[in-house]
Amino acid sequence: EMGVTRNAVLNPKTLALGSKEEQEDEKEEEEVLQVGRANLFHFLGRSVLIESKAARIAYVVTILLTASFQLIACAVLARTDAMHGVAESTLYWLGLDVRIAGGPSDSDHRHDQRRLVGSSGEKGRISLPCGTLWVSNHFTLFDYTVLHLASRQVLRTIVKADIAEEVPVLGPITSLFLFTFMGCVPYRRGDKGSGSQVRQALRTALLEDRTPVLVFPEGTATERGPPLPFKTGALLSAHALRVPVQPCTLHYSEAIGLPYESNTVDQLSKMVRFPMQVCVKVGQTVFPQDFEAASDFAKAIERQINRDFQTMSSQHL
C-alpha cells in the first residue's frame, strides 16, 4: 500500500534518513574520521620506527625483500619498464622524496647525437656506437635505486663482491638480482685481478652491449659529504674507450650515510628514522673528444660534481 517493494525495503540505500544536506554532513564527518584514523596509525607507526631500531630494520628489510622479488620477476619477464614503478614504490615506502633537476639542454642533446652518431639502421633511427658511463657521489646502497629512477634506464653498476655477506637473507637475494639479472660487475677492493676484470666488463658493457654503466668513483660511501677525492680508474677507461660520461650529484637532506666500514644493518636502521629528501642534479654530459689528456677529462668530471654539490648544499642550509 505504501508503494515500497520488498527489494527496496531490503536495500540499505532506501533506508537512509534525513535530508540531503544531513547525509552530506554525515559523509564529511565519516571522511574526517577516516583521515583521523589514518593519521593516528601513521603517527603510531612513525613513533615506533623512531624509537625502535629493531622495528626499523624489520621494516626496511621487509620493503627491500618485497622489492627484490618484484624486480627479479620484472627481469625474468623482460619488463624493464615495470622496474621504474618498483623503484618509485620502494623509495616512497622508505620515506625518500626524490627531486630531479638538470640535464643536457635540447641543443646540447642534438649536438651530442651528431657527435656520437654511428651507422643508421632503419630509416629515421639513430644508432649510437656506445653506452654512457654514469658517475655520481655516493652515500648509501639506495643511491643505485635513486639514480635508476633519475636516469629512466636500467643501469649496470660496479658492486662489491661480498655484498651477499653483509645482510642475512637480504644480502644473498640482492646479490642474485644484481649479478645474475642486472649484469652488474663484482669488485674486490685491493685485488688487482678484480680491477682488470672490471675494466674488461666496462669495455664489454659500454662498447659491445651499448649499455649504460653506473660507477661511484669515491670508492666508498660518505656520511654527508662533500665528495671524497675520486679514484679515476673508470674515468680514465672511459677516455680510452672514447665513451661519454654523465655526471650526477646526490644531496640528502639528512646525514644518511655512515662512517667508513660501518655495518650495513646499522644503515638500514638509520634509513627510516625520519623522512628525508634526496636531490639529484643531472649535469652536462662530458665527452672525451673534448680533452686531449685523460687526466683533464677526469678532473673536469670531478670538478662538476663537487661544484654542483656545493651549490646544492648552500641551497639546503
What DSSP letter does each residue of 116-165 carry, written as one string? H-----STT----SS--EEEE---STTHHHHHHHHHTS--EEEEEGGGGG
| Adjacent-strand bridge partners of 279 | 99, 251
Measured distance CA(50)–CA(36) in Å, rounded: 21
CA dihedral 212, 216, 221, 227 (to 10 degrees): -130
- pLDDT (0 to 100) of residue 19: 60
- Say what the pLDDT of residue 43 is: 52
Structure confidence at residue 121 (pLDDT): 36
C-alpha cell at 158: 660496479
Q: Which residue has the cell 639546503?
A: 316
Dihedral sign of CA atoms 234, 240, 245, 251 in order? positive
Residue 190, phi-psi category: left (phi > 0), alpha (psi -120 to 50), beta (remainder): left
Distance of CA 217 to the CA centre of its chain: 17
Cα dihedral value 185, 198, 238, 157, nearest 10: 10
Q: Would you say 128 and 116 are in contact if contact means Cβ atoms under 8 Å apart?
A: yes
**Residue 96 contacts residue 146 (beta carbons within 8 Å):** yes
Per-residue model confidence (pLDDT) at position 212: 92
Task: Give dist(CA 283, CA 104) in Å, integer.
Answer: 7
Return averaged pLDDT per consecutive 10 residues of the chain, 317 residues in all: 45 50 62 49 60 81 87 87 89 89 52 40 44 92 88 84 70 79 77 78 90 91 87 93 95 78 65 83 94 96 96 81
As a whole number of angstroms, the distance between CA 104 and CA 284 comes to: 5
